[in-house]
Structure formats: C-alpha cells, structure tokens
Amino acid sequence: MRILVAGGAGFLGSHLSERLLGEGHEVLVVDNFYTGQRENVAHLLDNKKFELIRHDVTFPLFVEVDAICNLACPASPVHYQRNPVQTIKTSILGSINLLGLARRTNARILQASTSEIYGDPVISPQEEEYWGNVNTIGVRSCYDEGKRAAETLFSDYRRQYDVDTKIARIFNTYGPRMALDDGRVVSNFIVQALLGKPITMYGDGSQTRSFCYVDDLITGLISLLMKEKNVSGPINIGNPGEFTILELAQLVIELTNSNSSIEFRTLPSDDPKQRKPDISKAKSDLQWEPRVQLREGLIQAIPYFEARIASKT
C-alpha cells in the first residue's frame, strides 16, 4: 500500500512510518515541522519507498494514496497551548482536508485520537462508550475539543460518504524520539533526573496515568489500520497498568541512579486526576494488548535521552 502519514516526522509518526516501511509499504510523510523533527526520519530518507513533504494539513493536499494516518497535531500541553487557535484548526481543518482526500482516493483513513477526549473522567477505567467530562473553555480545550470534533467528522464522513474510517484513542505513550522539551511527564522526569535537577511534581503526585511504550502503541495502530472496514472504533490503545505520578518519579530516579529531589508545585487547570484505559475492544477486535511494562520500557527509553543530552553539551 501507499500510505500517507500526516505528522510523520513527530514522535509517534516517525515510529509508525519506520514500521510501515519495514512491512513493505510505501510511505509519504507530510509535516509542517511545528513539533516534528526532520532528524526523526533522517534515517529513512535513502529508502526508495519513503517520501517527505513539508506541508500544513490545514491546507488541502492532492496526492494519490491507499491509506492515510492522521497524526498531525501537537500532543503535549506545552506545545498545543503555545498556539491554541492553530491547534484546534489543525484538528478540525486537517481532518476535513484529509477526509476529503480519503473520499476522493477511496483510501481508508485512521485518526490518532486521544484519551484526552475523556477529560477529567468520573469513571475508571475509561471505556469507549463513556462520553467524557471535558471543560469546553479551559486551557486544554483547544486540544481536547479539537480531537472530539475530529472524531465527529470521522464518524459523519463514514455515515454520509461511506469513507473507511478508523479512530484510535491513544493513552500516554513514551519512548525514543520524544523531544527533550516535550513537556509530557515521562520525558520531563527522565531529563530532570539525568541532569540532577529537581523533579517537578504538579499536585501531590496522587493523580494516575497509564503509560504505553511506543512499540506497543504502533503495533496497535497498524492492527486497527489493517482491519476490515467494519472495525472502525473508537478503540482505546494504551497500557492499563495504572501508576501514580509520584510512583513514576520514584521509578525514574531509581533507574537513572539520580540524586534528584522531588519539588511539588500547583496542579495546572483541568489536569485529569485519573487515566486508565479499558482495552477490552482492542483485545477482541484487534487481538492486541501491550507487552512492555513500565519498568522495562523506561529501561529502553532512558539511553535515548542520555544520548540526546550528551549531544547537546
């Protein structure tokens, strides 16, 4: 297949592109490099089945493809709150443009949605039928509501135009190629610990997250992309292992052999208190579940951050 990966120079997009090439597909990456990095895909440039185009998905794109993966949107609060209007435009206009392309080319299309559509959930674990508890006017709304609107668009294009759509709800993912200034909790803690700086803990650390290693996440996305048309989602893709943020900090300090202290700060507005996916649908519809547990995944990820820090000094 010839597969378009929007946002393919980002953390997840680059891993997805690499895996798709490894499975024999042609890959066309489009990225405006707002958060994506050319270096994430530099090792793919010599592959004759790989193509890279600088393009912003808020503008139409005219190419011929068999499948589309829409990962085009900044995903960390630091990045998406820097330009919130552009963030929500990327989710909504980008979805409209890529869905239009899918309709014209009769391509299947996968939306990388997010656990953030559940907002600050009042049930746990979160199952796909849960509608969420989201602040529509908060500082995180540009991302949360943008992704929710994108899910609506994907569902309506499926109903109205019979487009073969897939929706994956991604829970916290970590691993190599995260930016040092990514702003998400795993990369923050690892970088701070390696530099011997205090670990910044927002709130009292009792809030929970479920962390999925990138290799597992990519396997889940590809499994959904390749499924027959009647499997459309939304489907949660994440690791149901639940940890408090304080437990994560302590584990990072242990694995990096760091002397960092933990520094408590005020919890940001609308920060969810709990995240844990119900992956029953992923197990039944995709025959997928994560294999890499948090300790093992951190052991694999930490050397990448060590190398990146060393290259900056």
Residue 89's domain spans which residues?
2-174+212-239+277-291
**Whether pLDDT at 128 is above 80:** yes
Q: Please count the residues of the chain.
A: 313
Whether 207 is covered by a domain: the verdict is: no
CATH number for the domain harbouring residue 48:
3.40.50.720
Whether 154 is covered by a domain: the verdict is: yes
Mean pLDDT of the chain: 96
143 is catalytic: yes
**Whether pLDDT at 309 is above 90:** yes
Whether 226 is covered by a domain: the verdict is: yes
**Whether pLDDT at 313 is above 70:** no
Domains: count for the chain: 1
Whether 24 is covered by a domain: the verdict is: yes
Structure tokens at 169: 């709800």
Whether 230 is covered by a domain: the verdict is: yes
Nearest-angstrom CA–CA distance, 91 and 143? 8
What is the structure's pLDDT at 59? 98
Whether 113 is covered by a domain: the verdict is: yes
Nearest-angstrom CA–CA distance, 158 and 143? 23
Considering the candidates 143, 157, 174, 213, report the single residue annotated as catalytic: 143
> How does pLDDT run across 184-219, given as a tens digit for each residue?
999 999 999 999 999 999 989 999 999 999 999 999
Whether 309 is covered by a domain: the verdict is: no
What is the structure's pLDDT at 190? 98
Q: For a pLDDT cut of 70, what percent of the chain falls above it? A: 100
Over residues 60-74, mean pLDDT: 97
Q: Packing angle between helix 245-255 and helix 294-312, nearest 10 degrees?
A: 60
Q: Report residue 242's pLDDT band, with 50, 70 and 90 as the boundaries.
A: very high
**pTM score, whole prediction:** 0.95
Whether 187 is covered by a domain: the verdict is: no
Structure tokens at 267: 């919890």
**Whether pLDDT at 105 is above 70:** yes
Cβ-contact 21, 50 below 8 angstroms: yes
